[in-house]
Structure formats: C-alpha cells, structure tokens
Amino acid sequence: MLTPAYRLVLRLEIDNHPGMFAEVARTIGARGGSLGAIDLVEATPTKHVRDVTVDVPDEPTGERLADDLKRLRGVVVRSVSDRTFLMHLGGKVAMAGRVAVRNRDDLSLVYTPGVARVSRAIAADPERAWALTQRANAIAIISDGTAVLGLGNVGPLAALPVMEGKSLLFADLAGVSAFPIVIQPGTVDEIVDAVARIAVGFGGINLEDIAAPACFEIERRLRERLDVPVFHDDQHGTAIAVLAGLRNAAAVCGVSINELRVVVLGAGAAGVATARLLRTAGAKHVIVADRHGTITTARTDLNLEKRALAEELGSNDAVRPFAAALAGANVLVGLSGPRLVTIEMIRTMARPRIVFAMANPDPEVDPVATAAEVDIMATGRSDFPNQVNNVLAFPGVFRGLLDARATTMTTNMELAAAAALADSVPAPLRSAEYILPSVFDAAVVPAIAKAVSAAARADGVARRTDRDAAPGPAGRSIAG
C-alpha cells in the first residue's frame, strides 16, 4: 500500500538522450513505486539532474529501487532523501518567547530584578500563577515509550518524535503550549510520583503511549492526586473519536447506536475505554474480544481492568472466538493489529454493516477490499475517507479544559466532546464517506472546546466561569 510515509526524493543524474527518463519511470513502476513531482535541478547538453519524488510501499522497497536505478546505464544516483526523516531533522518543536528582549530595560523586566516581584506575588498568592506564568495555557505530554503507536515497547527516546508531533498539533490546531516529556519506564508508583512532581507547572497532563494495564492505574491515581485534569489520550481521545464517528455512521444508516450490536477487537487502553464510553452513550450490545476470545467473567486469565470491564458490560456468557462474536454483529471497532480480520469474517456481519479498522499504519482488514462489503468503512489513516483518529479530539478537549481551568476530566466532558465532534459534520452532508470532519476543519477545535468547558462548569470542576474570559484565536482564553 503506497503512503506518503515512505516518500523518497531521488536526485538522479541522467544522460540527455531520448527515452532515458522513460527508462527511469519504467524502473520505478516495475518496483511498485508511484512517480510524483519531477524537478529539474541542473541541465547541460549531455546531462540532466532531476529531483524525482517517489512513493513506495515500504522501506525495503525503497532500498531495492535505489539499487535498481544505480544499475541503469546512463543514470547516476547522486542521493536518496527520505522526506519523513528530513521532516524530523533537529526535532519538530522548539520553545519560543512571547515577549521580545531588545534592550537592558526589557531584560530587567523579564528577568532579574523585575521577575523577583512576580515571584513574590505568586508566593503570596499561588492562584496568581494562572495569570502570571505559562500554566494557564501549558500541558505536559508524558510517555514512557512502552506502547508507541503500533510499534509496542520501543522505549522513551523512540517515543519522543511522536510526542513532538503531538506538541506541534496542539500548538497549530488549538494554540496550546504542549511540552513533550519522556521518562524512563518504571513501576506505577515511580511514574505517578514523577508526573505528580512536575505537574505543578502545567494546567493539564496528557498521558500518551503507556502500556496497559499500568496506564489505567497511573491515570486513576494521578487524577486522585492532582488538581489539574489528567487525560490518557490513547484511552479517551480514541473513545471520543469512535463515539462521534459511530453516532454519525448510525445516522447515515438510519438507526440509533442503541440498536447496533458492537464488537470491539482489542482490549488494551483504547479498546477498554471505547467500550466503556459506547456503553455510557447508550450502546446496549457491546462485546470486547482480545487474542484469546471474548472478554467475559467466565475467563480466569483476565487482569483486573478486563474483569471490571466484563462486569460493567454484563458479559457473563461462555468465551467465544472473535470470529464467532463478530458473526451477526453490526459494528466492528478494530483497535488491535494489522490483518487480523478476513473478508469472510466481515461477510458474516449483519446489516447495517459498519467497520472501523483503526490499527495503524496497517488496518485490521484491507479497506479497499472491504469497502464493497460494508455500509460504512472507516480507518485510522489519513489517506482514506473517514479517518477515525484521536487527533480529532485531543486539541479541542485540552483547549476546553484550559479555558475552564478544569480540575479534572469527567465522563460528561467526554460525551460532550464526542457530540460536538459529531455535530461538526452538518446532518445534510453526512454520507457513507463523510461521517467525521477533517482534522484541518477550523470549526472543530472551538466547537469541542466550548462543549468541554460548558460540561466542566456543569459538573462543578471549572475554576473559571464563562464570564471570566473572552475567547481568543483557536478558542484560546486571553484573560488573565
């Protein structure tokens, strides 16, 4: 499957003879690449130097293509650049000041001696830190690298590019200053203590890519300990996006969520949280399955979180294989791994037939082959219609949490965020290939932020009322 994630820029020196570039193009096609932009860099009577952009299905294919081109008579491969790696050179984020320091007077205000007056003011009244420091618009993104994307336990350094990417999205989409912080894996006690000790400087904590089941206990204990919201995005961001997408998918199919039989494949952080939120939102028939079959109280191999989930869902029947559970279901929510579901399994589902295959980068089932078999097809990828991804949720959620200066995150706020996200697609425009808005729809973040802030006030967990602040760019609060 071709994807921009494997996009190469080949600088080729090609003999200036008729048909030479056609030979290059033929070689690219034979190796399974897709030819993109072709830019002329240098030209002489005998040679042309071109930058040729090519999408390939994977890294080994790109390496083999470069070797193929090196063997072509009349072609010299000057360089091969991987655009993904180029985008990450030097990291993707950097700290920037909000005020300029142009002379000695400015220096005396932002630093010593002027800053001492501000420190004394905050020491006398800690609440003034909300107005006089970054805290009101800053969050920490915390990961130990034990469950990164679909890569698994790759460690904190390998997690850092992902956290930087989230930091960039927070800034660009919601105007939130998000600091990517990776820590060494440890016990639950060690991680909770480490995060709690640094939380004082932030208005919220975004936990990310921490493996289950530890992530559940870490979030739970941090919520008990801190007076700012703690939000594990792999759990709740995913659940919000799924609920919003399923609400609109059900509407397109002319049914309600409580009529649908839902099977969630994957009982990690995302699967457990999604099942819980769907049930809270009114889905009456929710089954969760992992690699050993359905999650029921009849199983003796469940951890505490899975057992609690089985009890919450009322799953007391005998254990069934995933394929048996899927037969007759209306909805498959895949939060597991690549190619775990076959077309034959999909064909056993009832109508309406809705599939969210969200494993990244490779979905549980081939979306191209599956589309003809279902009423609604969605993935976690950006190169197919209906991307169900937590990036639709977390910028607006934290914008709303910060605007309200919330002390915690509640289930009602998750439901409000999901409703606002679903409503971002106008009812007359909803269709089988348009159940969720674009990540770049400028209306999404403000809508979710407004809904989350209102829910925080309704739940009594907001430090600030709607009269305390005027909305700034991207929903930002600009009051002190």
Write a three-state SS string for 376-393.
EEEECCCCCCCECCHHHC
170's enclosing H/E stretch is helix 156-174
The answer to whether 137 touches 402, Cβ cutoff 8 Å, is yes
Q: Helix (H, G, I), strand (E, B), or coil: what is residue 37?
A: strand
DSSP state of 387: B
Q: How far apart are CA 394 and CA 389, in angstroms?
A: 10
Tokens of 463: 């430090």
Taking the alpha carbons of 71, 72, 76, 78 in that order, is the dihedral positive or negative?
negative
Place of tokens 């729809």: 441
Radius of gyration, CA atoms only, the chain: 25
- The one catalytic residue in 6, 47, 92, 111 is 111
- The one catalytic residue in 6, 166, 306, 450 is 166
Q: Where are the beta strands (DSSP E) in 74-229?
A: 75-82, 138-143, 177-182, 204-207
Tokens of 77: 């491969």
Q: Which of 342, 304, 147 is nearest to 295 (CA)?
A: 304
End-to-end CA distance of the chain: 50
The answer to whether 346 touches 353, Cβ cutoff 8 Å, is yes
- 111 noted as active-site residue: yes
Q: Give the Cβ contact number of residue 437 at 10 Å.
A: 22
Distances (CA, A) of 228 to 132, 163, 403, 441, 476: 17, 20, 12, 28, 18
Tokens of 135: 């805290």
Q: Which of 459, 475, 229, 457 is nearest to 467 (CA)?
A: 457
Place of tokens 């089985």: 310
Q: How far apart are CA 231 and CA 395, in angstroms?
A: 12
- 450 noted as active-site residue: no
Tokens of 46: 């005998």
- Catalytically annotated residues: 111, 166
